[in-house]
Copies of this chain bind each other. A is one copy, B any other.
């Protein structure tokens, strides 16, 4: 129990100098084939993403909504008329999980559901005026954070970000995500190539 009784592990109790996690000594590793992890990017992405979603969280709280509600109202606003199945495909959650938050958004008048005309089993989802306003407010807030972050960077950096994030996404999903982010006829700048 007493950790002092175990001589096996690093004895430098006071050592906050041992702060760069050296590769396990005695464990050979070729630094060319197995380069040092990018701790900087890993940690910065963690903290950046936390503050990025934190922006939205504060507003959502006033509606008694959570992040799950945000995602739904966001994608419904971005793609008005999308079906339950399409939304499930985007969010990659079960219909039971979606059903819970969607019910609340429907009940509180942020989203509307209509039976399809072609296939009347389907439900097409639309934002209400209030739902669209909420989604846009949240997107605006998050965009401001992006804008501030881009300010100090050269103008080509934004394109680099887009390319970088796209390349971070699993290759099998890239086409799906691209189609969602840059819908047909969108005037938005797609990444070059």
Contacts and interface: CB of A to CB of B under 8 A. Distances in A.
Interface of A: 3-4, 6, 9-10, 12-21, 23-24, 34-35, 37-52, 54, 71, 74, 77-82, 92, 112-118, 124, 126-129, 132-133, 135-136, 139-140, 142-143, 145-154, 157-158, 160-170, 173, 177, 180-188
Given A41-B161, A48-B168, A153-B160, 16 more contacts: A12-B81, A13-B81, A16-B79, A20-B186, A21-B77, A39-B188, A40-B162, A42-B74, A42-B143, A43-B180, A45-B52, A45-B165, A145-B168, A151-B167, A152-B167, A154-B160
Contacts of A170: 51, 54
Contact of A78 (B21, B41, B163, B187): B21
Q: Chain copies in the assembly?
A: 2
A113 B81 CA distance: 54
B163 A152 contact: yes
Contacts of A20: 183, 185-187
13 contacts: A10-B126, A14-B118, A15-B81, A20-B185, A21-B127, A21-B135, A21-B136, A23-B136, A37-B139, A40-B181, A41-B165, A51-B173, A153-B164
A42 B181 CA distance: 9
A133 to B, nearest CB: 7
B161 A164 contact: yes
A39 B75 CA distance: 10
